Amino acid sequence: MAGADGLTAADAILDRAGRLFAGEKRRFAVALSGGADSAVAAWVAVQAVGAARVRAIHVHHGREASEDLARAASEIAAVLDIAFTQVGVEVPAGPSFEAQARSVRLPALEAAAAAGEEIVTGHHRGDAAETVLGNLIRGAGAAGLSGISARRGRWMRPLLSIPRAEVKAAAAELGLPFVDDPTNTDRSLTRNLLRLDVLPELEQRLGPGVESSLARAAGLLAADDEELDRLASCVRVVAEDDAVTAPARSSWLLLQLRSRRGSPAACCGPPIRRTRERAAMYRPCSRLPEAKPPGFSSAPGCSRFARGRSSSCIATNRSLPPSKCWFPAPR
């Protein structure tokens, strides 16, 4: 059914979501669960780049509802005339089936996707809002509160700005043979509790727009986090077993950043490995000895960073002038 602007629900989604595929020359593997969201994402991909460059990958989780979901995914792929691949995973035992399933599903999709293929998922605006709210409750920082990215690495989420209701309406309008995952009504799962109870209550009490506001806040935080990553990646850092050194003019940045992710610009030199960054939080800890430690050299133009007693922090030697520091002598 066409809206006030003359577009059907599906056309309106294609108009917005299809932009993410603009200029793309690669092939695409859609993570097709059998539900409405991934079905519409697959349809958008086919409309944007053609069925010849799109295929579907379904991850079978081996639970009671998996057969129905697998059958629906296969039928959706047939309707869209795209190749279909099914991979099975064994979900390890754990307190949260959802979290455990995710831990094996994402690697399975990565392994099943061919080199050079982009992976498309059906995450929509509701998913983004639930992720932000859940991460906020868990006390996440900027990276966690930035929620889900429309694009990160080879992963694409073209429906991320589309409300859940519009995605479901488009799937029905297109006649895609999707099925609803029965676990989506299980309130023992935090995400379902947020979607079924918490967000509707907030919308009722505070008025419509809570979901879109959460998604918008996530986008702003994601932009901030990306900019911090970009700035940090341009700090020339030298890492040794027990020390990290950086130019003095960059120290203020290092002291404010908890970690740095992403690839540095070509001119910025090699980055510290992510595990090292997370183990060495960029904040002051204990003071360093004022005397030059054995095996260390003094050098102009840098500030001294080194591991404190705790492996989870970095210490700065404020007793030294900014123009000098101790750093591991070249071996």
Is residue 85 located within the same domain as residue 158?
yes
Instruction: Encode 209-219: b = buried (16+ Cβ within 10 Å), e = exposed.
Output: ebbeebbbbbb
Is residue 276 located within the same domain as residue 198?
no
Is residue 204 located within the same domain as residue 262?
no
CA dist 200 and 35 (Å) reads: 22
- Of 181, 199, 224, the last residue of a domain is 224
Least confident of 53-62, 138-147, 222-231, 279-288: 279-288
Residues 108-126 have a mean pLDDT of: 93
Among 322, 311, 243, 221, CA closest to 275: 311
With a cut of 90, say whether residue 159 has pLDDT above it: yes
Residue 58 lies in a domain: yes
Residue 70 lies in a domain: yes
**What's the chain's average pLDDT?**
75
Least confident of 20-29, 86-95, 135-144, 195-204: 135-144
Is residue 247 located within the same domain as residue 132?
no
Q: How far is CA 186 from the centre of its chain?
A: 24
**Which of 252 and 222 is assigned the larger pLDDT?**
222
Question: Could you list the residue range(s) of the whole structural domain that residue 183 is in?
Answer: 9-224
Is residue 23 located within the same domain as residue 129?
yes
Q: Indicate the number of domains in the chain.
A: 2
- At residue 281 the predicted structure's pLDDT band, cuts being 50, 70 and 90, is very low
Is residue 272 located within the same domain as residue 177?
no
DSSP H helical segments within the chain, as ranges? 9-17, 36-49, 66-80, 97-112, 125-137, 142-145, 164-174, 190-193, 199-206, 210-233, 251-256, 274-279
Q: Model confidence over 182-201: pLDDT tens digits?
A: 888 888 888 889 999 999 99
